[in-house]
């Protein structure tokens, strides 16, 4: 598929924000992070800012962004709608938690409960984001059991890396946050390799014959193209990335995003471009089965 910049920004930015919010919602109430005003302003500002930027970017990919609010009404059947509903709800405990931390410099009692609820909302939102893609049976690269764990691991990784940076900027830092950042990088690295292996090992079972139900009559071929000119489906679903380019980008992503991040985890801010590279590949390597009707021999 053709990776839209808005979708890449949405998934990477919101993943970072929710990963950071998840960690803050747990670490501050439990005393791992002090409830200091300026630290809270920076940490919560970064988390909520990244979340808001990501959610705003998600509307740019809609045909009618002004109607984005209507998507919230389909929560019974749509993971996209569920994500939007949970994302909006999460702002409430996150805002209360931020007020307690920044204004009153406390994270006890009700403020602690708000932090824990914000962390839970962040976790559920990332799961819903991943399920938007994992639930699509027409794209085998996404209809994969590793998609949700990978999304969660990358949210944790980016959130942990930025948390480590913030703690070092506003204090002496914390050994646990540095260890968590390193461990989350290793976790995301391992899960991404497993995901790539699963995708590469699955050659797909959909063919023009199975898609049309005409397998009993032999090989199916197109007599005429479905359209006389390029349309949305061909631009969005028909994009193909050459295998040699994908392999090269994978190596670059692994080297810059994982190996370098482990070495320079204290300077994680310099590697913020990695999630976008990984997410670009996630979309670019996907092949929608609808392209079987446009001449593709497999999907």
CATH class of 5-294: mainly alpha
pLDDT at 273: 46
- Binning pLDDT at 50, 70 and 90, where does residue 128 land? very high
Q: Where are the domains of the chain?
A: 5-294
Among 14-18, 253-257, 274-278, the range scoring the smallest mean pLDDT is 274-278
pLDDT at 266: 45
Cα separation values, 65 from 61, 71, 132, Å: 8, 10, 18
pLDDT beyond 50 at 269 = no
Read off the pLDDT of residues 13-42 as tens digits, 9 standing for 90 and up: 999 999 999 999 999 999 999 999 999 999
DSSP 26-75: HHTTTTSS---HHHHHHHHHHHHHHHHHHHHHHHTTSSSGGGGGGGGGGT
- Out of 155-159, 200-204, 255-259, 285-289, the most confident range is 155-159
CB-CB neighbours of 217 under 10 Å: 9
| Nearest Cα to Cα of residue 195 among 122, 127, 146 | 146
| Nearest Cα to Cα of residue 278 among 123, 124, 157 | 157
pLDDT at 201: 81
pLDDT beyond 50 at 270 = no
Read off the pLDDT of residues 132-175 as tens digits, 9 standing for 90 and up: 989 988 888 888 899 999 999 999 999 998 998 899 888 767 78
pLDDT beyond 60 at 113 = yes
């Amino acid at each position: 598929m053709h990776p839209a910049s808005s979708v890449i920004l949405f998934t990477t930015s919101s993943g970072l924000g929710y990963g950071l919010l998840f960690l803050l919602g747990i670490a501050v109430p439990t005393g791992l992070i002090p409830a200091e005003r300026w630290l809270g302003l920076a940490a919560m500002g970064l988390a909520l800012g990244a979340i808001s930027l990501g959610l705003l970017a998600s509307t740019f990919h809609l045909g009618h962004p002004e109607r984005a609010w209507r998507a919230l009404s389909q929560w019974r059947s749509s993971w996209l709608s569920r994500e939007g509903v949970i994302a909006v709800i999460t702002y409430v405990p996150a805002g209360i938690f931020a007020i307690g931390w920044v204004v009153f410099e406390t994270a006890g009692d009700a403020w602690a409960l708000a932090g824990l609820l914000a962390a839970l909302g962040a976790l559920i939102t990332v799961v819903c984001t991943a399920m938007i893609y994992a639930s699509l049976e027409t794209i085998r690269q996404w209809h994969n059991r590793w998609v949700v764990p990978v999304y969660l691991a990358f949210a944790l990784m980016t959130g942990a890396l930025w948390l480590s940076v913030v703690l070092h900027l506003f204090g002496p830092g914390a050994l646990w946050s540095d260890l968590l950042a390193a461990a989350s990088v290793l976790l995301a690295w391992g899960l991404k390799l497993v995901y790539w292996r699963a995708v590469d090992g699955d050659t797909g079972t959909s063919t023009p014959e199975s898609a049309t139900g005409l397998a009993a009559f032999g090989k199916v071929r197109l007599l005429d193209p479905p359209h006389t000119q390029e349309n949305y489906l061909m631009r969005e679903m028909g994009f193909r990335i050459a295998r040699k380019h994908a392999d090269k980008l994978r190596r670059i992503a692994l080297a810059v995003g994982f190996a370098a991040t482990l070495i320079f985890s204290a300077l994680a801010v310099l590697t913020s471009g990695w999630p976008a590279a990984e997410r670009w590949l996630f979309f670019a390597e996907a092949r929608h089965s609808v392209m079987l009707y446009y001449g593709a021999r497999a999907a």
